[in-house]
Amino acid sequence: MTEPITHLTEDEEFLRQSIEKFAKNDVAPRCHAMDEQQAMDPALIKQCFDLGLMGIEVPERFGGTGSSFFSAVLAIEELAKVDASLAVLVDVQNTLVDNCILRWGTEAQQERYLPQLCTQKLGAYALSEGTSGSDAFALKTRATKKGDRFLLSGSKLWITNAKEAEIFIVFANADPEAGYRGITSFIVEKDFPGFSIGKKEDKLGIRASSTCELLFENCEVPAENVLGEVGQGYKVAIETLNEGRIGISGQMVGVAEGAFACALGYAKERAQFGKPIATFQGMQMLLAELAVNIEAAKTMTYNAARLKDAGLPFVKEAAMAKFFTSQVAERVASKAVEIYGGAGFTKEYPVEKFYRDAKIGSIYEGTSFMQLLTIAKILLAG
């Protein structure tokens, strides 16, 4: 008999339990302060490296754990049950930066950068610009070849991990007349001449996760740091983001699970009319409905991750999972606030943070509208 999609192997369950322990013991006590200060505790980032969470799919010869994509999604989910900010930090490192170099990097690039990304240096993925959000390939950042290097000029916006990152995957157009076929991806180090970090955004949710502007003023990038081939950047971006959406789905499942756990516990404790509100039929039906939605969201996410690991088509399933999980996370977190009543609207309890953190799921790494268009395109193609 085929195992259920949500069944975990012994190794996956061990990983899940290890991260659950880390999240409860080390992350949870820091959540409120990090959210208030809009800053990630450096000690937590170091712990993520020490625990092997920053190179989950990376082969052991490069310093990674040599595990699966599914394991990375599982780690993201467990962290998001406690803090979505740390979850997205680990998410970007694994599903975007590591994955990008693993798939498109030369042997020399992999040998140089993957050991650093697995053990000590944070990465960031820089595609978005002020005028290219959903229209991701309307890039204005330019790459001009000059001898043995490229000069990058322009800016990027809304780049996750930007403040702490030291290695960046950057997309720029090396041949504007060729349109999207001129887009090229580069590996950029933080100390390359002409590169700097700009404004840090003041956000609604995932506030401990840094989101910054990147500035390129004739930034000097060695030609050997082209990731893939010149003009192949659009393919690198699309295929990497297809995988990244599953990571965001895992994050949204975790947010929903975290909010639900709080709401369920509080419903058993909060008394109205002389008895716990969990004893009222209306509340029981609401809790049951939310649980069903979470289970469906988890199953869709796990299915997309399993398909990716199996080398099977997964783009439609990834888009479906991201679309649905972002909706579920928002609804569950919203209802969790309501279950808490007035207390849920205060910062004394974690549900208001889950509510704020949930909103980004329908926006980054492809809006919900773009997920629907992707799904429709595949369906219509038969």
CATH architecture of the domain covering 235-380 = Up-down Bundle (1.20)
DSSP category for residue 129? B
CATH architecture of the domain covering 124-230 = Beta Barrel (2.40)
pLDDT recorded at residue 374? 97
Listed by start position, the domains of the chain span 10-121, 124-230, 235-380
pLDDT recorded at residue 136? 79
Residues 6+ apart with CB under 8 A from 109: 101, 187, 224, 225, 227
Residues 6+ apart with CB under 8 A from 82: 23, 24, 27, 28, 31, 258
- Token pair belonging to 76: 């993201």
| Share in percent of the chain as helix, strand, coil (round to 5) | 60, 15, 25
pLDDT recorded at residue 185? 98
pLDDT recorded at residue 236? 97
Catalytic residue among 77, 243, 330, 365: 365
pLDDT recorded at residue 3? 78
Chunked into runs of 10 residues, the chain (382 residues) has average pLDDT values of: 82 97 98 98 98 98 98 98 98 98 98 98 97 86 98 98 98 96 98 98 98 98 98 96 97 98 97 96 98 98 98 98 98 98 96 98 96 97 90
CATH architecture of the domain covering 10-121 = Orthogonal Bundle (1.10)
Q: Give 105-142 as a 3 state SS string.
A: CCHHHHHHHHHHHHHCCCEEEECCECCECCCCCCCCCE
User: Is 13 among the catalytic positions?
Assistant: no
Cα→Cα distances 320→92, 102, 299, Å: 20, 25, 11
pLDDT recorded at residue 346? 97
pLDDT recorded at residue 2? 66
